[in-house]
Structure 1
């Protein structure tokens, strides 16, 4: 165990030195191909990768306690031919590891897949409509989280409240509208629910399963409705794309208060008096986000908190998701220092989930530190995470990330 911990620490230090040499202080918005002189016709490309090494003291006896994982490898492209239209495409893979690798790279876990593809039409300066496989989600800021600039190692899993249950990897096929009225930003969507979702359990009595679109048909259970609304009290955040920033590292002074919802009529089903009946899924949340510099010395504070009410139907419990309530918060502090050099940000996160189906709460504590060599474009994250849900499990993960 001691040798494995030393190996992980050594990998952290070696990666740190490598990334200092490979930082990109002159990123300047990345790769943008302009097709006219004023830049209204363009193609924008973003690529990123997140590689992890994890030490898990609770791994099975037959498994190595140290493992490696390509957490994300993605490419995102969007383009405009005029300022009225936008087309976005996003593809990549997730969590490629020893268990999902295939001998010739043709297995299901080794394949790139379409994360998103939507077309958007701008209704003037502040409003737009669009459709396709999109990420304009409801509920909370974290359900719209960008994976490029998270403060914690990864997003709070329970905040992606419908992933694989009604959607494809947190994206729905449907139509959306987004925009702002002064300081109030909004996004609303009407979508088709996935038919072959992750929860493929048969309907039973006394406990709902997420299979309404499959077991009742799309006429009864085929549509979902979502929305998120936030008031920008200080600096105004961009809503050009749906992805919410995790931490600005003091680059903005932001204080937002938000509220959102997700509704799926008859999204779950159960057996009642021998018949399969549908139950409505309703999820509501309120949240607050604060990010601001603490002076002229480069120090900054990031803080977030949310309360989420989850109703998936009677005694629903599947993976991390269940009927009940969730509270979650995280806070991080960027130490004072030269913004052109490596900056450090320790952070802490805590989430507690209660479920109607069990007396046990799922409590998750995270403690970590980010080392920013070139902002989010080149960074290392080291995090300890402990989860208590009847039994306690813990892991230490080091992640190296670069995006261009």
Structure 2
């Protein structure tokens, strides 16, 4: 492990030396009229990860037991195409792929095509941002700002994915076919969404059979999903060009917000009763949160977030997930591992479930004699404190500590992140906590 850590830090130093030679670049933007109020813009983003991971017990990598792993991958590779086509009409596309590493599709063809994440059109009914109506394939949603994050501006190395509650289950990487209304009225920022979810049987995985012990997404019937999100902004208004929500403004705005959001889908889940009848249950999520992102003296800045999430997927729902999982399978059996949805190997943890989650993060952009964002540092801490019904008294607490090195703001940055996560085991039919596992990741982000 020591040699791998030295290798990772050496790589970080080399990338810093290379990236300091890059310079700020203007946006790739075409004016469609003389004033520039009508325009079309293209952006590109690449997030490369270099990661050392302590694998969960029983992990196999291509059939071989492996307690530790080192992998290289592309967490996100994206391009955006968007613009104000007329005075009131906005067009937005996003194209790319995610979680591409050596195990991206270990059992099939590695040349899996990128896909459209977003494709939407939006019409502004008011003279300002008071009311916009849009529709298409979009991440716009209720619940939380982290349910629709601007991934190019996130402060921590990755977002709290649990807030994207149905990711790749009844959506396409958190995107749904939706119609929505959004806007800003006074100090209020709102969005209301009606979504047409995809069937769980279309997510590319074998859907679990209906169970008498815990709910899963129903394979029969179809219902629309209703979502809403409301923010009160005490000072500056948040960005409102796209539905995505900024991770950190790095001191360029004074943001102090409180928000509340939710999602509801009737009969989204199913399970068997004791008598063998099929029971349908509603999916209901609610969150309250506060977000602070403010400039401080000496060109420093503070970014902080605290949110409470009540997630209800039905009786005892639990799903494991591992971000860009380095493992491929497990040699554990049903007698010594948790049954249910998701893969328990690699870096997986119980990420989604019926229960309650508190998520918090705080970061501090260190002072500088210069006002720009070149060669700046921002350490951060984050904690996900979850209590899921399926795990009884065993909490799922995950902690991250890291630091960003902004070579040129979010356009070019390095992020080093250490994560500590729980594991669980079953001994003689009893669920117990296993050893905690760690990972150390380096990200190199380029965004233009």
TM-score interval w.r.t. the shorter chain? over 0.9
1:110 and 1:9 mapped to 2: Cα distance?
Answer: 32
The aligned counterpart of 1:275 is 277
Shift of 1:210: 1.3
Shift of 1:108: 6.0
Shift of 1:256: 0.5
The aligned counterpart of 2:157 is 153
Contact 1:230 1:256 in 2 (8 A): yes
Matched, 1:362 2:396: yes
2:167 aligned to 163, 167, 175, which one? 163
Matched, 1:352 2:354: no
For the residue of structure 2 that corresponds to 1:342, the secondary structure is strand
Shift of 1:102: 8.0
2:19 and 2:397 mapped to 1: Cα distance?
Answer: 34
Gapped regions of structure 2 (runs ≥ 5): 60-64, 321-350, 425-433
For the residue of structure 1 that corresponds to 2:75, the secondary structure is strand
Contact 2:399 2:421 in 1 (8 A): yes
Matched, 1:200 2:231: no
Shift of 1:101: 6.2
For the residue of structure 2 that corresponds to 1:326, the secondary structure is strand
1:383 aligned to 410, 413, 417, which one? 417
For the residue of structure 1 that corresponds to 2:258, the secondary structure is strand
Contact 2:157 2:417 in 1 (8 A): yes
1:33 aligned to 30, 33, 46, which one? 30
The aligned counterpart of 2:441 is 397
Shift of 1:36: 1.8
- Cα-Cα RMSD: 1.8
- The count of aligned residue pairs is 392
2:81 and 2:388 mapped to 1: Cα distance?
Answer: 40
- Tell me: higher relative CO, structure 1 or 2? Use CA pairs within 8 A at least 6 residues apart: 2
2:67 and 2:113 mapped to 1: Cα distance?
Answer: 25
Gapped regions of structure 1 (runs ≥ 5): none
- Which segment drifts farther, 342-351 or 61-70? 61-70
Shift of 1:353: 0.9
The aligned counterpart of 2:248 is 247
Matched, 1:94 2:104: no
Go from structure 1 to structure 2 and tell me whether the alpha carbon gap of 1:267 and 1:339 turns closer, same or farther (over 3 Å shift).
same
The aligned counterpart of 1:343 is 376
1:37 and 1:77 mapped to 2: Cα distance?
Answer: 20
Contact 1:100 1:110 in 2 (8 A): no
CA displacement, residues 171-210 of structure 1 (integer Å, 9 cap, x when unaligned): 1102011012111000111011110246811111131001
The aligned counterpart of 1:7 is 7
For the residue of structure 2 that corresponds to 1:170, the secondary structure is coil
Shift of 1:166: 2.6
The aligned counterpart of 1:110 is 112
The aligned counterpart of 1:373 is 407
For the residue of structure 2 that corresponds to 1:110, the secondary structure is coil
1:154 and 1:300 mapped to 2: Cα distance?
Answer: 20
The aligned counterpart of 2:18 is 18
Matched, 1:57 2:54: yes
1:109 and 1:276 mapped to 2: Cα distance?
Answer: 40
Contact 2:54 2:67 in 1 (8 A): no
1:110 and 1:43 mapped to 2: Cα distance?
Answer: 29
Contact 1:93 1:110 in 2 (8 A): no
2:111 and 2:388 mapped to 1: Cα distance?
Answer: 31
For the residue of structure 2 that corresponds to 1:201, the secondary structure is coil
Q: How does 1:265-344 map to 2 (within 5 A)?
A: 265-272=266-273, 273-295=275-297, 297-319=298-320, 320-337=351-368, 338-340=370-372, 341-344=374-377
Shift of 1:344: 0.2
Matched, 1:209 2:216: yes
1:140 and 1:275 mapped to 2: Cα distance?
Answer: 35
For the residue of structure 2 that corresponds to 1:142, the secondary structure is helix
For the residue of structure 2 that corresponds to 1:18, the secondary structure is helix
Contact 1:199 1:318 in 2 (8 A): no
Contact 1:138 1:227 in 2 (8 A): yes
